[in-house]
Protein backbone atom coordinates (compact mmCIF):
# COMPACT_ATOMS: atom_id res chain seq x y z
CA UNK A 1 0.00 0.00 0.00
CA UNK A 2 1.34 3.45 -0.93
CA UNK A 3 2.35 5.79 1.89
CA UNK A 4 -0.33 8.33 0.92
CA UNK A 5 -3.04 5.68 1.28
CA UNK A 6 -1.68 4.57 4.66
CA UNK A 7 -1.53 8.17 5.82
CA UNK A 8 -5.11 8.75 4.69
CA UNK A 9 -6.35 5.77 6.69
CA UNK A 10 -4.46 6.88 9.79
CA UNK A 11 -5.81 10.41 9.46
CA UNK A 12 -9.35 9.01 9.28
CA UNK A 13 -8.74 7.27 12.61
CA UNK A 14 -7.66 10.54 14.22
CA UNK A 15 -10.54 12.48 12.74
CA UNK A 16 -13.26 9.99 13.66
CA UNK A 17 -12.25 9.00 17.20
CA UNK A 18 -13.99 11.41 19.56
CA UNK A 19 -11.40 11.23 22.37
CA UNK A 20 -8.68 12.29 19.93
CA UNK A 21 -10.70 15.20 18.57
CA UNK A 22 -11.55 16.24 22.12
CA UNK A 23 -7.87 16.07 23.04
CA UNK A 24 -6.97 18.45 20.22
CA UNK A 25 -9.67 20.89 21.30
CA UNK A 26 -8.43 20.74 24.88
CA UNK A 27 -4.92 21.72 23.79
CA UNK A 28 -6.27 25.10 22.65
CA UNK A 29 -8.76 25.63 25.48
CA UNK A 30 -6.43 24.68 28.34
CA UNK A 31 -3.52 26.68 26.97
CA UNK A 32 -5.58 29.85 26.47
CA UNK A 33 -7.44 29.63 29.79
CA UNK A 34 -4.34 29.16 31.92
CA UNK A 35 -2.50 31.91 30.04
CA UNK A 36 -5.38 34.28 30.77
CA UNK A 37 -5.38 33.28 34.45
CA UNK A 38 -1.63 33.86 34.65
CA UNK A 39 -2.06 37.30 33.10
CA UNK A 40 -4.58 38.29 35.78
CA UNK A 41 -1.97 37.74 38.49
CA UNK A 42 -0.48 41.18 39.21
CA UNK A 43 1.49 40.27 42.32
CA UNK A 44 4.49 42.29 41.09
CA UNK A 45 7.16 39.60 40.84
CA UNK A 46 10.62 41.15 40.38
CA UNK A 47 11.42 38.53 37.71
CA UNK A 48 8.21 39.16 35.79
CA UNK A 49 8.48 38.06 32.15
CA UNK A 50 5.49 39.29 30.11
CA UNK A 51 6.13 36.89 27.22
CA UNK A 52 6.28 33.81 29.45
CA UNK A 53 3.21 35.01 31.34
CA UNK A 54 1.30 35.28 28.05
CA UNK A 55 2.29 31.70 27.20
CA UNK A 56 2.10 30.28 30.71
CA UNK A 57 -0.78 28.01 29.73
CA UNK A 58 1.53 25.94 27.53
CA UNK A 59 2.75 24.22 30.71
CA UNK A 60 -0.77 22.77 31.04
CA UNK A 61 -1.69 22.57 27.35
CA UNK A 62 1.23 20.21 26.83
CA UNK A 63 -0.53 17.67 29.06
CA UNK A 64 -3.43 17.65 26.61
CA UNK A 65 -0.94 17.34 23.73
CA UNK A 66 0.83 14.30 25.21
CA UNK A 67 -2.55 12.75 26.03
CA UNK A 68 -3.56 13.12 22.39
CA UNK A 69 -0.32 11.53 21.18
CA UNK A 70 -0.56 8.67 23.66
CA UNK A 71 -4.23 7.94 22.89
CA UNK A 72 -3.65 7.98 19.13
CA UNK A 73 -1.16 5.12 19.42
CA UNK A 74 -2.62 3.25 22.41
CA UNK A 75 -5.89 2.77 20.51
CA UNK A 76 -3.98 0.35 18.28
CA UNK A 77 -3.25 -1.95 21.22
CA UNK A 78 -6.91 -2.53 22.07
CA UNK A 79 -9.20 -5.11 20.51
CA UNK A 80 -6.67 -6.39 17.98
CA UNK A 81 -6.59 -3.07 16.08
CA UNK A 82 -2.83 -3.23 15.58
CA UNK A 83 -3.05 -6.72 14.11
CA UNK A 84 -5.61 -5.50 11.59
CA UNK A 85 -3.54 -2.42 10.76
CA UNK A 86 -0.41 -4.48 10.14
CA UNK A 87 -2.35 -7.00 8.08
CA UNK A 88 -3.31 -4.14 5.77
CA UNK A 89 0.19 -2.59 5.88
CA UNK A 90 2.78 -5.35 6.36
CA UNK A 91 5.66 -2.86 6.24
CA UNK A 92 5.58 -1.88 9.89
CA UNK A 93 7.99 1.03 9.57
CA UNK A 94 5.81 2.61 6.89
CA UNK A 95 2.71 2.17 9.02
CA UNK A 96 4.28 3.78 12.08
CA UNK A 97 5.69 6.64 9.98
CA UNK A 98 2.17 7.32 8.72
CA UNK A 99 0.87 7.17 12.28
CA UNK A 100 3.49 9.70 13.38
CA UNK A 101 2.58 12.09 10.57
CA UNK A 102 -1.12 11.70 11.37
CA UNK A 103 -0.33 12.67 14.95
CA UNK A 104 2.24 15.38 14.29
CA UNK A 105 0.51 17.43 11.59
CA UNK A 106 -2.78 18.06 13.44
CA UNK A 107 -0.83 18.59 16.66
CA UNK A 108 1.25 21.25 14.91
CA UNK A 109 -1.84 22.96 13.48
CA UNK A 110 -3.61 22.93 16.82
CA UNK A 111 -0.40 24.01 18.58
CA UNK A 112 -0.16 27.07 16.34
CA UNK A 113 -3.81 27.86 17.05
CA UNK A 114 -3.15 27.39 20.77
CA UNK A 115 -0.19 29.76 20.49
CA UNK A 116 -2.34 32.44 18.87
CA UNK A 117 -5.11 31.96 21.44
CA UNK A 118 -2.62 32.01 24.29
CA UNK A 119 -0.97 35.21 23.09
CA UNK A 120 -4.33 36.91 22.60
CA UNK A 121 -5.76 35.80 25.94
CA UNK A 122 -2.53 36.37 27.84
CA UNK A 123 -1.87 39.88 26.53
CA UNK A 124 -5.52 40.87 27.04
CA UNK A 125 -5.31 39.77 30.66
CA UNK A 126 -1.93 41.47 31.15
CA UNK A 127 -3.16 44.80 29.83
CA UNK A 128 -0.47 47.49 29.96
CA UNK A 129 2.02 44.97 31.33
CA UNK A 130 2.09 43.30 27.89
CA UNK A 131 3.63 46.38 26.25
CA UNK A 132 7.06 44.75 26.46
CA UNK A 133 6.05 42.02 24.01
CA UNK A 134 7.09 43.02 20.50
CA UNK A 135 5.22 41.85 17.41
CA UNK A 136 8.15 39.82 16.09
CA UNK A 137 8.79 38.32 19.53
CA UNK A 138 5.16 37.31 19.86
CA UNK A 139 5.07 35.78 16.37
CA UNK A 140 8.22 33.74 17.04
CA UNK A 141 6.73 32.52 20.32
CA UNK A 142 3.52 31.43 18.56
CA UNK A 143 5.52 29.40 16.03
CA UNK A 144 7.67 27.93 18.81
CA UNK A 145 4.53 27.04 20.76
CA UNK A 146 3.11 25.12 17.81
CA UNK A 147 6.35 23.26 17.14
CA UNK A 148 6.83 22.46 20.83
CA UNK A 149 3.35 21.05 21.36
CA UNK A 150 3.65 18.93 18.21
CA UNK A 151 7.00 17.55 19.41
CA UNK A 152 5.54 16.67 22.80
CA UNK A 153 2.60 14.86 21.16
CA UNK A 154 5.05 12.87 19.04
CA UNK A 155 7.24 12.16 22.06
CA UNK A 156 4.20 10.60 23.74
CA UNK A 157 3.34 8.66 20.57
CA UNK A 158 6.81 7.15 20.38
CA UNK A 159 6.90 6.28 24.06
CA UNK A 160 3.46 4.67 23.82
CA UNK A 161 4.61 2.49 20.92
CA UNK A 162 7.58 1.41 23.01
CA UNK A 163 5.60 0.71 26.19
CA UNK A 164 2.48 -0.51 24.33
CA UNK A 165 0.36 1.35 26.86
CA UNK A 166 -1.09 4.85 26.91
CA UNK A 167 -1.67 4.59 30.66
CA UNK A 168 1.99 3.81 31.28
CA UNK A 169 3.08 6.67 29.04
CA UNK A 170 0.86 9.20 30.77
CA UNK A 171 1.88 7.78 34.15
CA UNK A 172 5.46 8.71 33.27
CA UNK A 173 5.05 11.95 31.31
CA UNK A 174 2.32 13.80 33.23
CA UNK A 175 4.03 13.69 36.66
CA UNK A 176 7.33 14.46 34.94
CA UNK A 177 5.97 17.54 33.18
CA UNK A 178 4.00 18.89 36.14
CA UNK A 179 6.33 18.06 39.01
CA UNK A 180 9.56 16.15 38.46
CA UNK A 181 11.03 18.52 35.89
CA UNK A 182 10.71 21.48 38.25
CA UNK A 183 12.22 19.57 41.18
CA UNK A 184 15.12 18.33 39.07
CA UNK A 185 15.57 21.84 37.68
CA UNK A 186 15.91 23.35 41.13
CA UNK A 187 18.44 20.72 42.17
CA UNK A 188 20.60 20.29 39.06
CA UNK A 189 21.13 23.82 37.78
CA UNK A 190 21.79 24.23 34.06
CA UNK A 191 21.77 20.48 33.41
CA UNK A 192 17.97 20.58 33.65
CA UNK A 193 17.91 22.87 30.60
CA UNK A 194 18.44 19.72 28.51
CA UNK A 195 15.19 18.11 29.65
CA UNK A 196 12.66 17.99 26.80
CA UNK A 197 10.06 20.30 28.33
CA UNK A 198 12.42 22.89 29.77
CA UNK A 199 14.48 23.02 26.57
CA UNK A 200 11.46 23.44 24.34
CA UNK A 201 9.93 26.20 26.44
CA UNK A 202 13.02 28.43 26.31
CA UNK A 203 11.53 30.10 23.23
CA UNK A 204 8.54 31.21 25.32
CA UNK A 205 10.71 33.30 27.65
CA UNK A 206 11.55 36.92 26.92
CA UNK A 207 14.60 36.76 29.19
CA UNK A 208 16.95 33.78 29.02
CA UNK A 209 19.95 32.91 31.16
CA UNK A 210 20.40 29.17 30.58
CA UNK A 211 22.48 27.05 28.24
CA UNK A 212 20.11 27.18 25.26
CA UNK A 213 18.52 29.69 22.96
CA UNK A 214 15.00 29.43 21.58
CA UNK A 215 15.77 27.33 18.51
CA UNK A 216 18.56 25.26 20.04
CA UNK A 217 16.13 24.47 22.85
CA UNK A 218 13.55 23.22 20.36
CA UNK A 219 16.31 21.19 18.69
CA UNK A 220 16.99 19.45 22.03
CA UNK A 221 13.28 18.64 22.39
CA UNK A 222 13.29 17.37 18.79
CA UNK A 223 16.22 15.08 19.65
CA UNK A 224 14.26 13.59 22.58
CA UNK A 225 11.25 13.12 20.30
CA UNK A 226 13.33 11.49 17.57
CA UNK A 227 14.78 9.06 20.13
CA UNK A 228 11.27 8.15 21.34
CA UNK A 229 10.02 7.62 17.79
CA UNK A 230 13.02 5.46 16.90
CA UNK A 231 12.43 3.38 20.03
CA UNK A 232 8.76 3.09 19.13
CA UNK A 233 9.64 2.03 15.58
CA UNK A 234 11.97 -0.64 16.95
CA UNK A 235 9.22 -1.96 19.21
CA UNK A 236 6.65 -2.08 16.42
CA UNK A 237 9.05 -3.91 14.12
CA UNK A 238 10.41 -6.41 16.62
CA UNK A 239 7.48 -7.33 18.85
CA UNK A 240 4.32 -9.26 18.10
CA UNK A 241 1.18 -7.31 17.29
First to last CA, the chain: 19
Domain membership of residue 223 (yes or no) is yes
Q: What would the DSSP string read from start to end of the chain?
A: --HHHHHHHHHHHHHH-HHHHHHHHHHHHHHHHHHHHHHH-----TT--HHHHHTTTHHHHHHHHHHHHHHHHHGGGSTTHHHHHHHH---HHHHHHHHHHHHHHHHHHHHHHHHHHHHHHHHHHHGGGGGG--HHHHHHHHHHHHHHHHHHHHHHHHHHHHHT-HHHHHHHHHHIIIIIHHHHHHHHGGGGGGSHHHHHGGGG-SS--SS--HHHHHHHHHHHHHHHHHHHHHHHHHS--
pLDDT given for residue 20 in this prediction:
94
CA dist 180 and 198 (Å) reads 11
Domain membership of residue 239 (yes or no) is no
Nearest in space to 20 (alpha carbons), one of 85, 64, 86, 78: 64
Residues 114, 145: contact at Cβ < 8 Å? yes
CA dist 70 and 49 (Å) reads 32
pLDDT given for residue 184 in this prediction:
67
CA dist 188 and 63 (Å) reads 24
Domain membership of residue 83 (yes or no) is yes
pLDDT given for residue 71 in this prediction:
95
User: How would you class 169 by CB atoms within 10 Å of its CB: exposed for 0-12, middle for 13-18, buried for 19 or more?
Assistant: buried
Domain membership of residue 53 (yes or no) is yes
Q: Which domain holds residue 184?
A: 3-232
pLDDT given for residue 141 in this prediction:
94
C-alpha R_g of the chain: 18
Domain membership of residue 88 (yes or no) is yes
Each residue's pLDDT, cut to its tens digit, for the chain (241 residues) gives: 788 888 988 999 899 989 999 999 999 999 999 999 988 877 666 677 889 899 999 999 999 999 999 999 999 888 778 888 888 888 888 999 999 999 999 999 999 999 999 999 999 988 888 787 888 889 999 999 999 999 999 999 999 999 999 999 999 999 988 887 767 665 656 677 888 998 999 999 887 777 788 899 999 999 999 999 999 999 998 876 5
pLDDT given for residue 189 in this prediction:
61
Domain membership of residue 211 (yes or no) is yes
Nearest in space to 104 (alpha carbons), one of 63, 143, 154: 154
Distance of CA 22 to the CA centre of its chain: 15
Q: What pTM does this model have?
A: 0.92
Domain membership of residue 241 (yes or no) is no
pLDDT given for residue 45 in this prediction:
66
pLDDT given for residue 170 in this prediction:
95
Domain membership of residue 240 (yes or no) is no
Residues 168, 227: contact at Cβ < 8 Å? no
pLDDT given for residue 188 in this prediction:
59
- Domain count for the chain, please give it: 1
Amino acid sequence: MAFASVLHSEWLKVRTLRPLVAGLVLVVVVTAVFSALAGLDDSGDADFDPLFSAFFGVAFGQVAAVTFGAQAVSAEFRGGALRASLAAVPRRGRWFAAKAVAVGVPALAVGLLAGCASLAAGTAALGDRADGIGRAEGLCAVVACGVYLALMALLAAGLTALLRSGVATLGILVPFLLLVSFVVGDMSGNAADLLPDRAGQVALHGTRDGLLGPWSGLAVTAAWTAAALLAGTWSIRRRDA
